[in-house]
Amino acid sequence: MALPFNYATEYRAKLRTPDQAARAVKSGDWIDIGMGAGFPTLMDEAIARRRDELRGVKIRGSLIFQPIRMVECDEERKHFIYNSWHMSGYERKLCDRGLCNFSPMVFRNLGYYYQFYLTVNVAMIAVPPMNAHGYFNFSAANAYARAVMDKADIVILEVNENLPWVYGGLDECIHISEVDMIVEGEHGPLPTLDPPPASEAEIKIAEYVVQNMVNGSTLQLGIGSLPNAVGQMLARSDLKDLGVHTEMLCDSYLDLYKAGKVTNRKKNIDRYKSVFGFAVGSPDLYDWIRENPGVVTYPITYCNSPGKIGRLDNFVSINNCIRVDLYGQICAETVGTRQISGTGGQLDFLEGAALSRGGKAFVCMTSSFTDKNGKTSSRITPDLLRGDVVTDPRTLAFYLVTEYGVVNLMGCTTWERAEKLISIAHPDFRDELIAAAQAQGIWIRSNKR
């Protein structure tokens, strides 16, 4: 269909080369780049070419899976200072090299941070081609995109011919009248996410989780091999009429759909629709979400709202963590002061599941780990280690799972928490954990292991 004359004319008037659009960035600016599949590669390269002209440009992004040229070209961070809301494996390596800083946040509130507190001088995001009505779509990177564009002084859209147009319920599009510049060019394949295979312990953990689910549950899966193992096990289970309400859509959901498990017919809201904030996965996943009225995107302010989640009966959240102390404090994002991941939506979905009738939030971990020097340590510890960040406070701890079992900490006393957590710790560490609990005054003498 030919574009109406006014939109075609406006489109041509706003069309720039990447190098022309990059001139909008000034020294000292705050710029925001699209997350995940919305990363604007052409603009990134063009701004990197201006390195020697710029100083102190501050960049916000998240879950970027490919090299960021602005960062890679400036090892001393004199020109570009990169910051991430949530670490991909690539961004974690940037952190280790001193080229990235983490921005702590509560994911559901990220849109409000932009609305009330943050400065955005230039915003840029990759989008599919404009439609006949003058709209561009945020595709697989909706999340908090609209909030960024609304706050930005200058909006630059990079048209990526490979991105799918994704239907949505709220804030999934921006009109050409709201855009300052448009950039075109050839792009490579979209970023993919392929979690490593699950370990034997993770498969056992997945079994515990699936055993605690019922028909009609609505599902949120986190990132990693363990949530992926849960998805695969669900696909082979007898459960049916599952729903999807998640921040991140990955291939596990597509596997469940192909297995006939996802119908969304039991959802109390958004019935018959799988709801997500952003998507990263295989080419098949991007094909699945392309113009599919059964898979729709909403901003994170909606997807991660505990109030919205709580309206879904039998809501099940499944996420990972790194360490838990005997009080139920959960660290899911750092090892000491080393940033590994981010808060993401784990806290949001813990709260939401607690409000859901029949809801359950599972935070999963292997009971122990072995470091590169061959030393084995417990993931359940008397207290968190120096530098560990509390992702989930003890007041929100719900179901904790290891390969040795599953326990529910909701409403438990300190001594009940210690008892339950020690019961799912690796047997080799239980005696020393009991001794620590006694020293901390959270062990009752009559307790039996």
Write out pLDDT tens, residues 15-34: 999 999 999 999 999 999 99
Write out pLDDT tens, residues 258-290: 999 999 999 999 999 999 999 999 999 999 999
pLDDT value for 2:
59
- Give the residue extent of every domain in the chain: 5-183, 200-439
Check pLDDT > 70 for residue 313. yes
416 as an active site residue: the answer is no
Mean pLDDT of 384-390: 94
pLDDT value for 226:
82
pLDDT category, 6, cuts 50, 70, 90? confident
Residue type present at position 21: A
Neighbours of 13 (CB within 10 A): 9
pLDDT value for 218:
98
pLDDT value for 137:
98
The class level of CATH for 5-183 reads alpha beta
The rounded mean pLDDT for the chain is 95
Check pLDDT > 90 for residue 122. yes
Mean pLDDT of 65-71: 97
Fold agreement between 5-183 and 200-439: yes
- Separation between Cα atoms, residue 321 and residue 361, nearest integer Å: 13
Mean pLDDT of 122-137: 97
Check pLDDT > 60 for residue 162. yes
pLDDT value for 279:
96
Check pLDDT > 90 for residue 228. no
Q: At what angle do helices 430-439 and 414-423 cross, to 10 degrees?
A: 170
CATH 3.40.1080.20 fits 200-439, yes or no: yes
Mean pLDDT of 163-187: 97
pLDDT value for 3:
58
Check pLDDT > 80 for residue 448. no
pLDDT value for 193:
82
The pTM score is 0.95
pLDDT category, 446, cuts 50, 70, 90? low
Neighbours of 254 (CB within 10 A): 23
Write out pLDDT tens, residues 323-378: 999 999 999 999 999 999 999 999 999 999 999 999 999 999 999 999 989 999 99
Check pLDDT > 70 for residue 87. yes
Check 10, 247, 333, 419 and give the catalytic one. Answer: 247
pLDDT value for 229:
87
